[in-house]
Structure 1
Amino acid sequence: MTVSETVSAEDLSRRLASLDLAGRLSLAAAIPGRTVFTTSLGIEDQVITAAIGEGGVDIDVVTLETGRLFPETLALIDETEARYGLSIRRYHPDAADVEAYAARYGLNGFYESVEARHACCDVRKLRPLKRALEGASVWITGLRRGQSGNRAAIPFAEYDAARGLLKVNPLADWDIEAIRAHVAENAVPVNPLHGRGYPSIGCEPCTRAVRPGEPERAGRWWWENDVKRECGLHVPEAAASELPRA
């Protein structure tokens, strides 16, 4: 019996909507099976990690250590573990996959085409994510409706048919002002790059600071024209199946 047969995403969304963050995380963790939170160490994810650590919630915290992260992000992993007394498990890309990508496209070939960029994200993020979510029933993310137009209708919970699990977005209805206020009130450690114009932080070669008036995610893969650009982690099954593979 799959998790979709025991827990309705629509019913779970309704229940999550009435709870605070701590309650949402506890409810997600109570669903039978392994619950995994994937953190990119961004400001939203830090709010969730802090709540998991302070509440002692039984949720595995993992991160995709792509090999191209900012030094500030790597330092924040260590700081966060020490602050909340938890372990953030790092999932790395397979060295053979990285070598095959570089042989085909060049190490920084992602600048040359959308195909090459998606292939890089596949090697450095999607394949490690698959390993991180093995055996999981629930996947917790830091997605918010205000991050981009492509995420404006994100529910609190949805069934991820491609991965066969429930995806829970406990901050779906939080705006950036609420996030910042929570961080300030609770002294949550955040990436110093946020204060330098980086509201959304990914791999160093693929992230720039945003300009005044630009959307939060405008600095991600900025050389591409598609306003809906994503790495493939958070796209519907049909769309994800169309992403090129290395």
Structure 2
Amino acid sequence: MNVKELKEIIGDKKGVELLQTVTSLFPKEVIFSTSFGIEDQIITEWIGKNNLDIQLFTLDTGRLFKETYSLWSRTLERYPLQIKAYSPDNSLLEDFISKKGPNSFYESVENRKECCRIRKIEPLQRAISGKKVWITGIRSDQSVNRHDMDFIEYDEVNQIIKIHPLFDWTFEAVKKYCKEHYIPYNVLHDKGFPSIGCQPCTRAIQAGEDFRAGRWWWEDQSKKECGLHAVKS
């Protein structure tokens, strides 16, 4: 089944209904990546409360905020779910740190992307291997690189269909939904962190700053992606 056919079947379905349709079409072949961001917590709620046939995983980079680990525990307490953790390959990480040091990502875009490749991209490829559909919490207004994406698309890099159920949601709508449904979310979101990644690479943003200004703030705006959602040019 291609993306066009899938879009026709899904039609105007949203939220839980959308996910139920996808799992019926691709049994045992749907996976959801959570970084425990506020968007991901909504999708986790839909999966957990409706017992959807979707496998959950997260990328434990080893440099997450303590608040993220706390939310991870709270999420497991709330929902009857298993969230499989994928960590960096020890040999790759040890070699990188031995040669360039623990904070070389501040020194160049190349070093930062290599760090992201080891801590995120390689573990991701292991996580999604053999799956047909990858569910994400991506929203279109999260960065300039995501405006050209669609809520259903084919990821040529990873050879997998990607679905973004919250693609057209605003950050304000996401927070409102979580509060109305008492969904636990990272306390850092209330402290100026709209986007939360690794602790050394994430800061709070100031009023008027771009949504992604707190991620890799020392780099050019157009480079602020880690490669998880890369698009072939």
The two structures have a TM-score, normalised by structure 1, of 0.90
The aligned residue for residue 6 of structure 2 is 12
Structure 1 residue 8: deviation in Å?
A: 2.1
* Mapping 1:56-135, distance limit 5 Å: 56-135=51-130
Pairing 1:136–2:131 present:
yes
Q: 1:156 aligns with which of 151, 172, 185?
A: 151
State the identity as a percent: 46
Runs of 4+ in 1 over 2 A off after TM superposition: 10-17, 30-33
- Distance in 2 (CA, whole Å) between partners of 1:14 and 1:182 is 27
- Distance in 2 (CA, whole Å) between partners of 1:45 and 1:14 is 25
- Aligned 8 A contact 1:35 1:136 in 2: yes
Per-residue CA deviation, residues 114-152 of structure 1 (Å, 9 max, x unaligned), is: 000000000000010011111111001111112122112
The aligned residue for residue 26 of structure 1 is 20
Structure 1 residue 13: deviation in Å?
A: 3.3
Q: 2:172 aligns with which of 162, 171, 177?
A: 177
The aligned residue for residue 211 of structure 2 is 216
- Aligned 8 A contact 1:22 1:51 in 2: yes
- Aligned 8 A contact 1:37 1:139 in 2: yes
Structure 1: gaps spanning 5 or more residues: 1-6, 239-246
Structure 2: gaps spanning 5 or more residues: none
Task: Give the letter aligned to residue 155 of structure 2.
Answer: D
Structure 1 residue 173: deviation in Å?
A: 1.1
Per-residue CA deviation, residues 157-176 of structure 1 (Å, 9 max, x unaligned), is: 11112222111111111111
Per-residue CA deviation, residues 85-116 of structure 1 (Å, 9 max, x unaligned), is: 11111100011111111122211100000000
Structure 1 residue 17: deviation in Å?
A: 5.3
Provide the aligned length of Structure 1 versus Structure 2. 232
Task: Give the letter aligned to residue 216 of structure 2.
Answer: W
SS in 2 for 1:237: coil
The two structures have a TM-score, normalised by structure 2, of 0.95
C-alpha RMSD of the superposition? 1.3
